[in-house]
Amino acid sequence: MPAVEKSVITDWKRLWPMVSGIHYETPQDTVHEELMNVASELQAGVLQFKPKNASNLELGTLLKEKKQEKLLPFTERLQDLLDLESAQCWEILCYYLTQEYRGSASLLTQLISTETNMAKLHEDIRHYYSLERMVVLKIVKNLIVFHRVPNHPYHQEYRAVVEKITIPRLRDSYLDQLESLNRCPPPAG
């Protein structure tokens, strides 16, 4: 049985309904475990997404290991658009294709074969990536707002995570994130 690879980034959109308290269906132990597993990522917020130059791993090497060399031109352009290091760019692409993309494999082949269609797909993936970043912030907002609200279904779980991270570290991290986002050029297109 092949070993399961550890994810480089968290699928935040998948995690949100599980830990938000909107549906009250997730067992409290599961919420606690899931949030504790990503506590450092929650503290890092959008800074967990590393810029393209933050890694020595070349995208071509990564795609060759995954036997996906045919996606190299498409993925290189995506990496430039998102300004993400190689492993994170690959995971965003995989998350998008497995959870958001609604076409067939043959349609995907057509989409990445022409410049116009490729640009549309890149834009869809960029939107998905932006949403992932917003969901991280949304989860942290829930933690901060509801960790002191006893009638929230996950009050105790939120409090445990906030105590682990601490409010001062969250504040410092989010000030760093704000500064980082202010230095970023706005998206093109």
pLDDT tens column, 130-161: 999 999 999 999 999 999 999 999 999 999 99
pLDDT: which is higher, 39 or 114? 39
Residue 127 has pLDDT above 80, yes or no: yes
Domain of 19 in residue numbering reads as 12-183
* Residue 3 within a domain: no
* Residue 56 within a domain: yes
Q: pLDDT > 70: what percent of the chain?
A: 93
Burial, 90: exposed, middle or buried (Cβ in 10 Å; 0-12, 13-18, 19+)? buried
**For residues 86 and 76, what is the distance between their CA atoms, to the nearest angstrom?**
9
* Residue 188 within a domain: no
**For residues 102 and 3, what is the distance between their CA atoms, to the nearest angstrom?**
28
* Residue 112 within a domain: yes
Cβ-proximal residues to 147 (8 Å cutoff; 6+ apart), any chain: 155, 158, 159, 161, 162
pLDDT tens column, 38-80: 999 999 998 899 999 888 889 999 999 999 998 999 999 999 9
pLDDT of residue 189: 53
* Residue 177 within a domain: yes
Residue 2 has pLDDT above 50, yes or no: no
* Residue 5 within a domain: no
Residue 6 has pLDDT above 80, yes or no: no
The pTM of the full predicted model, rounded to 2 decimals, is 0.86
Number of domains, the chain:
1
CB atoms near residue 172 (< 10 Å): 12
When the pLDDT of each residue in the chain is averaged and rounded to a whole number, the result is: 89
